[in-house]
Amino acid sequence: MDIMVENHQLFWLIWLCVFGLCLGSFLNVIIWRLPREKSIVFPGSSCPACGSPIHWYDNIPIISYIILRGRCRRCGARISARYPLIEALTGAMTFLVFWRFGINLHAGIRFLLVALMIAVAIIDAEHMIIPDQISLGGLVAGLGLSFIHGDVAPLEAFIGAAAGALFLGLVRFVHMKITGIEGMGLGDVKLAGTIGAFLGWYALPVVFLASTAMGLLVGGIFLAIKGKGARTPLPFGTFLAVGAIAYVFAEPWWMNYLLNR
């Protein structure tokens, strides 16, 4: 009986993974178009080099890239390997989230956050911006979803959103007053609110600690490479996004720690 249940779950996990691959293809559209202020709906996908429409059979996640050997069918221009990598990453995250938390509403909401964070991490790393469609849209979604599931109560979500945004807003303000340099954008502040809305206020210390540690590590590497006095803008939104994803998987251990103190 247990084997039958496991096989049943594996069946749905595989289909969810396929869904994740398709979602990864859509995330590619979001990552490419939102920073360029283009519609994510119209027109359909096209080759960046020649502009020819991409037919559905050339847009199957990962498979089409392999069949076409990473090139446009019409003009032969090389297609970035980033596209299948994002599809594979999203598919893998889909499997891991639902395998870790089960096939339920809690896992679905956590996966929505992970998908948003994948888009944020790549967009901010490439363009140093976080589109409001993701940060503010995610904030509304996180607050709204708190009313339909019991993992993060509405009060916890609202406190988390306010605490996340206010804390990073204060850090941004103090940094500007001391250095006269805008070291953090408002997009990071809004994103912190989104993360707090999805995960609750108690997740913020872990997320901020993880993202700060990653920022210091990456900044230290750049400093070592470029030398003393070099200034390299770092996409803190990317570190926040990765920290939020890390917390999703570390949440059971963190909550167990808080409850047993």
At 137, list the tokens.
């849209």
pLDDT of residue 22: 96
Work out the average pLDDT over 133-137.
Answer: 96
Q: Contact at 8 Å (CB) between 108 and 23?
A: no
pLDDT of residue 259: 61
pLDDT of residue 133: 95
Encoded amino acid at 223, one letter: L
Tell me the per-residue pLDDT of 98-114, one tens digit each, with 9 for 90 and over.
999 999 999 999 999 99
pLDDT of residue 230: 58
Residue 125 has pLDDT above 90, yes or no: yes
Nearest-angstrom CA–CA distance, 83 and 86: 5
- Measured CA distances, 90 to 5, 45, 111, 249 (Å): 25, 19, 10, 15
Beta bridge partners of 53: 46
102 Rama class: left (phi>0) / alpha (psi -120 to 50) / beta: left
Output the average pLDDT for the chain. 89
pLDDT of residue 77: 86
Phi, psi of 46 (to 5 degrees): -145, 165
pLDDT of residue 214: 93
Cβ within 8 Å of residue 91, ≥6 positions away: 17, 18, 20, 21, 24, 61
pLDDT of residue 228: 57
Residue 4 has pLDDT above 60, yes or no: no
Tell me the per-residue pLDDT of 166-207, one tens digit each, with 9 for 90 and over.
999 999 999 888 888 877 889 999 999 999 999 999 999 999
DSSP the chain: -HHHHHHHHHHHHHHHHHHHHHHHHHHHHHHHHGGGT--SSSS--B-TTT-PBPPGGG-STTHHHHHTTTB-TTT-PBPPTHHHHHHHHHHHHHHHHHHHH-SSHHHHHHHHHHHHHHHHHHHHHHHS---HHHHHHHHHHHHHHTTT-SSS-HHHHHHHHHHHHHHHHHHHHHHHHHHSS--S-HHHHHHHHHHHHHH-GGGHHHHHHHHHHHHHHHHHHHHHHH-TT------HHHHHHHHHHHHHHHHHHHHHHHHT-
Residue carrying the six token digits 């297609």: 79
pLDDT of residue 229: 52
Work out the average pLDDT over 65-76.
Answer: 89
pLDDT of residue 150: 66
Confidence of residue 95 (pLDDT cuts 50, 70, 90): very high
- Measured CA distances, 28 to 45, 138, 208 (Å): 10, 18, 27
Beta bridge partners of 71: 78
Tell me the per-residue pLDDT of 220-259, one tens digit each, with 9 for 90 and over.
888 788 765 556 788 999 999 999 999 999 887 776 766 6
